């Protein structure tokens, strides 16, 4: 018999992930400060909870999917949070993308109450959250990973235990650096094609099967060429991830020159009204510099 699972955080990623767990037959107890999201999940069979304590009373495994480190700290360690009411032995599976050091700090506090924790951020954006094909990067103990793996098998196409607590988020920051720089390089390349008089669509068709081809290119080039910036992953969320990467780099002494440049592009988009656009809007930074539009090229 499937055990009760708590799910806290029903945003752009959390809601479809929770839906997939319901469809897989898990009894789900959900909480979010946005009540319509809770009501939507309840209409699909989840149990709506009015407080975090209601979640912990029913569940020994609690998934959190929240925007950033302060939100996770509040939900887990704050007044009325998980640490106050969860039973000893409860497993917290934090699937938020936060700073690695924050994961370590949160777990250190939970250990004092005999509550377990793994960090398990995801990659793939809303489309892969919807179809259950996320890439899941995990930090924590092997036994805790093994316990959570049936959930990961529903939510993702892959899950890898990378190392100790915080390693999952370190891996996610690495992923986010590479994704941002891929989009920036793609934007530069397509802009060069356009300004040199070559059809960017045909350039994409020619190179996507070669060494430059990537999952990022295949996902983002069609959006750029169509001028479709409906968010699968928002600029403002990528800013948050790169801020965590740069903060971690400052602590560890890691040089991140290209990441800093990508951050400036994203900050430009935020300032010019594209904070809620898909991160493929990085092309707009280049279009503005060149006064040339890559989009809608045929």
pTM of this structure: 0.91
Q: Maximum distance among all alpha carbons in the chain?
A: 65
Q: Is the per-residue pLDDT at 281 higher than 50?
A: yes
Q: How many CB atoms lie within 10 A of CB 205?
A: 11
By annotation, the residues acting in catalysis are 172
Domains of the chain in start order, with CATH, are 5-163 (3.40.50.720), 171-290 (1.10.1040.10)
Q: Which residues pair with 160 in a beta bridge?
A: 137
Confidence of residue 232 (pLDDT cuts 50, 70, 90): confident
- Residues 162-204 have pLDDT tens digits of 999 999 999 999 999 999 999 999 999 999 999 999 999 999 9
- Residues 117-135 have pLDDT tens digits of 999 999 988 889 999 999 9
Q: What is the DSSP letter of 86?
A: P
- Short-list 156, 111, 114, CA closest to 135: 156
- Residues 6-26 have pLDDT tens digits of 999 999 899 999 999 999 999
Please identify which residue in the block is written with the tokens 């039973």. 87
The pLDDT value given to residue 298: 45
C-alpha 25/C-alpha 60 separation (Å) is 17
Confidence of residue 297 (pLDDT cuts 50, 70, 90): very low
pLDDT cut 90: percent of the chain above it:
95
């Amino acid at each position: 018999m499937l055990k009760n699972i708590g799910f806290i955080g029903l945003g752009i990623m959390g809601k479809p992930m929770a839906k997939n767990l319901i469809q897989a037959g898990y009894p789900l107890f959900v909480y979010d400060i946005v009540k319509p999201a809770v009501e939507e999940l309840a209409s699909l069979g989840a149990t709506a909870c009015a407080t975090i304590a209601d979640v912990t009373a029913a569940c020994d495994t609690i998934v959190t999917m929240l925007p950033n480190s302060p939100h996770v700290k509040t939900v887990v360690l704050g007044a009325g949070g998980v640490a106050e009411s969860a039973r000893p032995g409860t497993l917290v599976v934090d699937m938020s993308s936060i700073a690695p050091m924050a994961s370590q700090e949160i777990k250190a506090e939970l250990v004092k109450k005999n509550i377990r924790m793994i960090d398990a951020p995801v990659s793939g954006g809303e489309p892969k959250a919807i179809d259950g094909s996320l890439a899941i990067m995990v930090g924590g103990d092997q036994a805790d990973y093994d316990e959570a793996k049936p959930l990961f098998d529903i939510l993702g196409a892959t899950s890898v235990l990378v190392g100790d607590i915080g390693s999952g988020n370190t891996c996610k920051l690495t992923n986010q650096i590479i994704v941002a720089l891929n989009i920036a390089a793609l934007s530069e390349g397509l802009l060069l094609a356009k300004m040199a008089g070559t059809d960017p669509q045909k350039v994409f068709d020619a190179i996507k099967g070669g060494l430059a081809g990537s999952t990022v290119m295949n996902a983002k080039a069609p959006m750029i060429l169509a001028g479709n910036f409906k968010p699968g992953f928002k600029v403002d969320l990528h800013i948050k991830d790169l801020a965590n990467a740069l903060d971690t780099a400052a602590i560890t002494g890691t040089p991140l020159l290209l990441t800093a440049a990508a951050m400036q592009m994203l900050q430009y988009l935020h300032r010019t009204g594209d904070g809620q656009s898909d991160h493929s809007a990085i092309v707009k930074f280049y279009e503005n510099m060149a006064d040339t539009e890559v989009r809608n090229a045929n």
